[in-house]
Amino acid sequence: EKAGFEHFMIKEIHEQPKAVHDTINSVVKDGAIDLSEVGLTEEQIKNISQIYIVACGSAYHVGVACQYVFEDLAEIPVRVELASEFRYRKMVLDPNGLVIIVSQSGETADSLAALRLAKKKGVKTLGIVNVVGSSIAREADNVFYTLAGPEIAVATTKAYSTQLIAGYCLAVQFAKVRGSIDDTQYAHLIDEMQQLPDKIAKILEDKERIQWFAAKQANAGDIFFIGRGIDYAISLEGSLKMKEISYIHSEAYAAGELKHGTISLIEDGTLVIGVLTQSELYEKTVSNMVECKSRGAYLMGLTTYGNYNIEDTVSFTVYIPKTDEHFATSLAVIPLQLMGYYVSVAKGLDVDKPRNLAKSVTVE
């Protein structure tokens, strides 16, 4: 059932082009996004004055990435909340808000409790859920199903990738309905989204190069992932993949925040992975990487084809294809999933069932 792959995780990593394609095609029809199955009317979309994205773990990281997309395209304020915090904080919720709960399993205890709390407070809820008929899917007012198929490996890959797509589709359609993007931008964004599966497949073709680099990092004590904006969201997920399956301590830092304390941890040889997919923030992050390098860090850069001057600063570079920058997370996460996976394999660990972790967290 691993279809010739050594682990479920690497099999599921390779299933991402299809999972992403299927999820896009479940809502994109004749060049337009159709949310009628999700059940949101244009009237409702126009009336949303605040979005709350609530989730745990990788699903929370989807929220962090999508916050930038919603705010930039649809111009709706967004708060991203950890479900385990949201549910205990006495939050004042906007009555015209929309609470989006993101969950692969649809059974995560804190996410389910957050959903129930939002409903009790009379705020509209929408679940982005993978498992059909799960508790969150049943109880949310509206559901956007991701079509990742069953995910077996504890560390999420394809479900995460499809959750991003659900977030993009909502953001792009909200932007269209609310008039914050024009028809040309709308068509462009949908076209860029539809190209993501092929670009993900292209990145996967280069996996041996990442495997080679990952194997050399197996003895690393600490790894830092840094980036700004959407690149910070990508860093969060890259760091989580690394620690959960490779048992290497890692941190994700908003690049500009490093010098407020954490840079003191950079020593000779510490691996710092800089994520640079956002052109407006590129130079700023490069200068933070230079700061790390001057304190002894060993640098890897993850950036878009064309940014070749990164090689003046870093020792190892992974390039990803160009896309609309709102969607860069979908591409940049792939090499980071592979990094986590291959470090774990190089260390001989139980990749699919890392210690202390469960696939579905139904305890609080």
Q: For residue 294, give Cα distances in angstroms to 217, 255, 288, 299.
A: 20, 15, 10, 11
Does 270 help bind ligand F6R (rule: CB under 6 A)?
no
Does 210 help bind ligand F6R (rule: CB under 6 A)?
no
Contact with ligand F6R (CB under 6 A) among 58, 235, 270, 278: 58
CA angle 322, 328, 331 (to 5 degrees): 80
Minimum CB separation from ligand F6R for residue 96, in Å? 26
Residue 359 among the catalytic residues: yes
Residue 194 makes CB contacts below 8 A (sequence gap 6+) with 24, 28
- What are φ and ψ of residue 100, in 5° steps? -105, 120
Question: Measured on CA atoms in the order 54, 338, 219, 253, is the torsion positive or negative?
Answer: negative
Does 246 help bind ligand F6R (rule: CB under 6 A)?
no
Token pair 């510490």: residue: 270
State which amino acid sits at residue 354: P
| Radius of gyration in angstroms for the set of CA atoms belonging to the chain, rounded to a whole number | 20
Enumerate residues 37-56 that contact ligand F6R by CB under 6 A. Answer: 56
Does 285 help bind ligand F6R (rule: CB under 6 A)?
no
Q: What's 296's DSSP letter?
A: T
Contact with ligand F6R (CB under 6 A) among 11, 19, 48, 57: 57
Minimum CB separation from ligand F6R for residue 58, in Å? 3
DSSP for 140-153, please give it.
SSEEEE-------S
Choose between 91 and 152: whose C-beta lies nearer to ligand F6R.
152
Under rule CB under 6 A, how many of the chain's residues touch ligand F6R?
Answer: 15
Contact with ligand F6R (CB under 6 A) among 38, 59, 143, 276: 59
Minimum CB separation from ligand F6R for residue 60, in Å? 7
Q: What's 309's DSSP letter?
A: G
State which residue has the least CB distance to ligand F6R. 57
CA dist., res. 278 & res. 230, Å (int): 7
Minimum CB separation from ligand F6R for residue 169, in Å? 18
Choose between 157 and 285: whose C-beta lies nearer to ligand F6R.
157
Choose between 103 and 288: whose C-beta lies nearer to ligand F6R.
103
Minimum CB separation from ligand F6R for residue 187, in Å? 31
Does 82 help bind ligand F6R (rule: CB under 6 A)?
no
Strand order in the sheet with 97-103: 78-82, 50-55, 97-103, 124-129, 142-145
Minimum CB separation from ligand F6R for residue 102, in Å? 7
Choose between 93 and 152: whose C-beta lies nearer to ligand F6R.
152
Contact with ligand F6R (CB under 6 A) among 263, 290, 346, 361: 361
- The secondary structure element, H or E, covering residue 79 is strand 78-82
State which amino acid sits at residue 24: I
Contact with ligand F6R (CB under 6 A) among 23, 67, 135, 156: 156
Does 239 help bind ligand F6R (rule: CB under 6 A)?
no
Of 18, 119, 322, 359, the catalytic one is 359
Minimum CB separation from ligand F6R for residue 292, in Å? 26
Contact with ligand F6R (CB under 6 A) among 66, 140, 155, 331: 155
Which runs of consecutive H residues, i.e. helices, occur in the chain?
8-14, 16-27, 42-47, 57-69, 83-86, 109-120, 135-139, 158-178, 183-204, 207-216, 230-246, 282-294, 328-346
Residue 182 makes CB contacts below 8 A (sequence gap 6+) with none
Choose between 142 and 360: whose C-beta lies nearer to ligand F6R.
360
Does 244 help bind ligand F6R (rule: CB under 6 A)?
yes
Does 250 help bind ligand F6R (rule: CB under 6 A)?
no
Per-residue x/- track, 95-124, ligand F6R (CB under 6 A): --------xxx--x--x-------------
CA dist., res. 362 & res. 360, Å (int): 6
Question: Rounded to a whole number, what is the distance in angstroms from the first to the last CA of the chain?
Answer: 32
**Residues recognised as catalytic:** 359
* Residues making contact with ligand F6R (CB under 6 A): 56-59, 103-105, 108, 111, 155-156, 240, 244, 360-361
